[in-house]
């Protein structure tokens, strides 16, 4: 493969080219992988992802710190329902008039 000067690449130069190409392919693949999971989990509703972390975290705290494992069975669905309502309300408010 010719180098920047138009001369054929030497053996070590060719290896460097291949390493560079591999690096580009790997970083492109990693970016696409990251983008897929970003779109999949967060997308245009970051409040649902953050809210789910908070909701599950609150249930975990309730169970481990206070030991209220039965109460958590009612608190967790209530918080999830609140999160859904909040996200729907946010979407309805952001509509153009």
Give the binding site for other proteins (CB under 8 A).
Answer: 36, 40-41, 43, 45, 48-49, 51-53, 55-56, 59-60, 63-64, 69-70, 72-73, 76-77, 80-81, 83-85, 87-88, 91-92, 95
Q: Give the shortest CB-22-to-other proteins separation in angstroms.
A: 22
Choose between 9 and 62: whose C-beta lies nearer to other proteins: 62
Helices (H), the chain: 11-41, 46-64, 69-93
Q: How far apart are CA 25 and CA 29, in angstroms?
A: 6
Number of other residues whose CB lies within 10 A of the CB of residue 75:
16
DSSP 9: P
Q: Give the shortest CB-29-to-other proteins separation in angstroms.
A: 15
């Amino acid at each position: 493969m010719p180098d920047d000067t138009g001369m054929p690449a030497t053996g070590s130069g060719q290896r460097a080219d291949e390493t560079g190409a591999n690096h580009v392919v790997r970083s492109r693949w990693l970016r696409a992988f990251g983008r897929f999971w970003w779109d999949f989990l967060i997308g245009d509703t970051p409040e649902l992802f953050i809210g789910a972390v908070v909701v599950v975290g609150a249930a975990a705290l309730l169970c481990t710190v206070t030991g209220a494992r039965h109460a958590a069975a009612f608190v967790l669905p209530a918080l999830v329902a609140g999160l859904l309502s909040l996200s729907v309300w946010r979407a309805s408010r952001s509509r153009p008039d």
